[in-house]
């Protein structure tokens, strides 16, 4: 199973749901990182071999793109643990988020060093490409968990 570090803006109930499906979950509050910057949370998630889960798309796009570009420019092969962006309540419930995350983790899709976003408009996970665009993360047959 996959280990996740949840951003403080992600409801604690999601942690319980992910743990119920066999995943390990770190909460920033427990790690003493509730007010730590998002770049440091991503770094800590990477150190813990965890995927960082958040609602803050704009913040993590910048972090992910910078990590990718700087790693290539500096010749450093240090992938981050992965980033998932999920919709916020009331647009999506913790149960829907947990189901989508669990489905993604069981699909075999690589999460390490990837930025994956649940698109409500497209009803699927999208992966950030190196050119800044987006593409489906799963095969077309994968559909939204109910």
* 41-51 pLDDT tens trace: 999 999 999 99
Chain centre to alpha carbon of residue 2:
11
In a domain, 125, yes or no: yes
For residue 119, the surrounding DSSP H or E stretch is strand 115-119
The residue segments making up the domain with residue 96 are: 3-136
In a domain, 71, yes or no: yes
Q: How far apart are CA 75 and CA 35, in angstroms?
A: 31
Q: Supply the mean pLDDT for the chain.
A: 92
Q: How far apart are CA 111 and CA 5, in angstroms?
A: 13
In a domain, 55, yes or no: yes
Tokens 């990837």 belong to 114
- Number of domains comprising the chain: 1
pTM: 0.91
In a domain, 106, yes or no: yes
């Amino acid at each position: 199973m996959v280990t996740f570090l949840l951003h403080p803006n992600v409801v604690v109930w999601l942690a319980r749901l992910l743990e119920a499906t066999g995943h390990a979950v770190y909460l920033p509050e427990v790690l003493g990182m509730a007010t730590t910057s998002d770049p440091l949370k991503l770094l800590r998630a990477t150190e813990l071999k965890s995927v960082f889960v958040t609602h803050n798309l704009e913040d993590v796009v910048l972090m992910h793109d910078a990590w990718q570009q700087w790693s290539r420019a500096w010749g450093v092969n240090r992938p981050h643990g992965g980033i998932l962006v999920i919709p916020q309540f009331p647009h999506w419930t913790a149960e829907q988020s947990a189901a989508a995350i669990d489905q993604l983790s069981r699909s075999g899709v690589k999460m390490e060093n990837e930025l994956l976003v649940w698109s409500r408009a497209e009803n699927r996970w999208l992966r950030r490409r190196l050119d800044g665009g987006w593409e489906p993360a799963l095969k077309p047959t994968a559909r939204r968990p109910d």
